[in-house]
Structure 1
Amino acid sequence: MRSDRQLHAARPWSRRDWLGAAGTLALGTTLGGRPREAQAASLEVGRPAPVLALHTLDGRTVSTGDLRGHVVILTFWATWCGPCHQELPILSDYAAKHAHQGLRVLGFSLDEPASLPEVRKMAEGWSFPVGLLGSAYAGGYGRIWRIPVNFTIDRNGLLADNGWDSREPAWTKERLERVITPLLS
């Protein structure tokens, strides 16, 4: 029986394969336009989600690995991101209403440490913890190259929603009901 690698190697390259390889070499991006660093080989819906720790503004550390049994949303944002200003209050309200069902949200700000006062002011009153990411690289989630971007982990620690693949990057009430509410049942 042939492995996936052998089957792939036996198949002639398509025009898409050649264009993708050329884009990767010339531009450092994939055919879909995503930077190579944003691609994570194991970042696939239905597979184990990479563990990521949030170092909160109040000095705590919350790891996705410790939240098994909960539905977890990782949200990446910044104070200078216009769509984030619309999305995050909606997400905070939804998280507060569904915390009793096991929903947890971790907010990773891409702001610089010098912007900490603005981060604190924007996050004031939110129902979820917030911290500075520290760099544009978020472990197994890759380099955060667009915001807002969100990832959802189900109760079993599996990736349930991959923000890189979403055509709707920001949370809306309708999207939260469609994507998250079924995971909470």
Structure 2
Amino acid sequence: MKSPLLLPRLPRLAWMLLLIGGLIWINAARVRDSAQFGLPGQRPPSPQIGFPAPDFALSDLAGQTVRLADLRGQPLVLNFWATWCPPCRAEMPALQSIALSTASRGVRVVGINQAEDAAQVTGFMQTLGLDFPVLLDRDAAVSQLYRVRSLPTTFFVDRDGVIREIVIGGPMSQALLASKIESLLK
């Protein structure tokens, strides 16, 4: 004779597996939807071409806070760099030249230095004769926000604050910078 307790166990096990599977499915759908709709607690998508550049606030070399939103309305070249990075150092003269030659057209070249102090960056800028604005990303939080994985990384942002080009690595030549800026201005 079969025990009356063995028959209910099979359905109970099936219900338990169904419940666990349902919870997994609901959780997966919640994570997918929250990432898609930007719900709190979810990381924003990686900055991409055709999407708005994420806003940030950083100090410049004089200690003044600069927000990306304050620069809207003008095309931007955001160059993430560091003094210890050889390709970054190599492309600095081209960035300086482009900053000077395109300023009259409203283009702003902004360097975003990764995790170095103001004195070190100021000395570097003076040694190379650079005078375009540099912001200090002391804790590399903005670099993380922009998903910068290698230096230099340059974002070309249009007047509306939309990323139009991303160049990873370098050094970029003045001709390459000029062509990217021309496409920004169209």
TM-score normalised over the length of structure 1: 0.68
- Percent identity of paired positions between Structure 1 and Structure 2: 36
Q: Contact 2:113 / 2:135 at 8 angstroms: preserved in 1?
A: yes
1:1-185 counterparts in 2 under 5 A? 41-113=45-117, 116-124=118-126, 125-138=129-142, 140-142=145-147, 144-163=148-167, 166=168, 169-185=170-186
Contact 1:150/1:170 (CA < 8 Å) preserved in 2?
A: no
Whether the 8 Å contact between 2:155 and 2:165 is mirrored in structure 1 is yes
CA contact (8 A) 1:74 1:107 kept: yes
Deviation at 1:110, TM superposition (A): 1.6
Work out whether residues 46 and 158 of structure 1, in 8 Å CA contact, stay in contact via their aligned partners in 2: yes
Any unmatched runs of 5+ in structure 1?
1-38
Unaligned residue ranges in structure 2 (runs of 5+): 1-42
Distance 1:104 1:170 in 2: 19
Moved segments of 4+, more than 6 Å: none
Instruction: State the 1:108 CA deviation.
Output: 1.4
Please tell me whether the aligned partners of residues 88 and 170 of structure 2 are also in contact (alpha carbons under 8 angstroms).
no
Give how far 1:40 is off: 5.7
Q: Quote the RMSD (CA, aligned, Å).
A: 2.3
Whether the aligned pair in 1 keeps the contact of 2:76 and 2:157 (CA below 8 Å) is: yes
Letter in 2 for 1:119: V
Q: CA deviation at 1:111?
A: 3.9
Which has more helix, going by share of residues?
A: 2
AA at the equivalent of 1:149: T
- 1:127 is displaced (CA, Å) by 3.3
Shift of 1:177: 2.1
TM-score (norm 2): 0.67
**Partners of 2:109 and 2:47 in 1: CA distance:** 19
| Mapped partners of 1:181, 1:122: distance in 2 | 29
- The range that moved more, 103-112 or 39-48, is 39-48
Tell me the residue number matched to 2:5.
Answer: none
Corresponding pairs, count: 142
Partner of 2:18: none
How far is the alpha carbon of 1:78 from its aligned partner?
0.9
> For 2:114 and 2:145, how far apart are their aligned partners in 1?
16
